[in-house]
Amino acid sequence: MARKCRDQLTLLVPLGYQEDRVPAEPILATKLSRIEERRIGRLYVENIRLVYKCQAEMRRSYRSVDRENINSCVDLAFIKAARVLNADKGKLSTVFYRFAHGEVRHWIRDSNWAISAPPKVRQLGQKARALAGYGLTFEQMCQELGCTAEALRDALVATEGLAHETMNWELHQCPRPTPWDLLEAESAT
């Protein structure tokens, strides 16, 4: 289970792992011990090029996510991969890349609405745009849809799509006011 490496103890399996039974509590949910901290720190230093390569690959794959967020997700994935690493079952790089992809996806899902709004919010925004096409006011749309003004405003903002505004060109010319224009007109009065 363990071998002597120079004058320090190097663990080959994660703490709390026994081959025949599942640990009483999940390994990833427990606090790192000092021995684990040292072992993971050594692994991190030994595999820093792997970490940098994974960060660069994640930045290419997920261009809409900030560099710092990707780096922190990859670092967290390395710690998780080092905790569950079993040398008999696979390489660190294989486990690490799977954890890294999962961490970045979880971060996008949990904290980044710019990628995709939740389905209920998208449906509310689509229904509000259809009602705005019929000329309903903001209050009438709230009554018709059975939602609060704040929820409707959030749905319209989340589903607006900002690419055409940031590039300073319009996707199409339409004589009718957009839902956002209606919101601005009502807030000005």
- pTM for the whole structure: 0.48
pLDDT in tens, 19-60: 444 445 556 667 888 998 899 899 999 999 999 999 999 999
Binning the chain into helix, strand and coil, the percentages to the nearest 5 are 60, 5, 35
Percent of all residues in the chain with a pLDDT value above 90, rounded to a whole number = 25
Reading the block at residue 134, the tokens are: 């019929």
pLDDT in tens, 133-158: 888 888 899 999 999 988 988 888 77
Reading the block at residue 164, the tokens are: 């055409």
The residue among 182, 109, 171 whose CA lies nearest residue 141 is 182
- For the chain, which residues make up each domain, given as ranges? 2-111, 119-188
* Three-state DSSP state, 116: coil
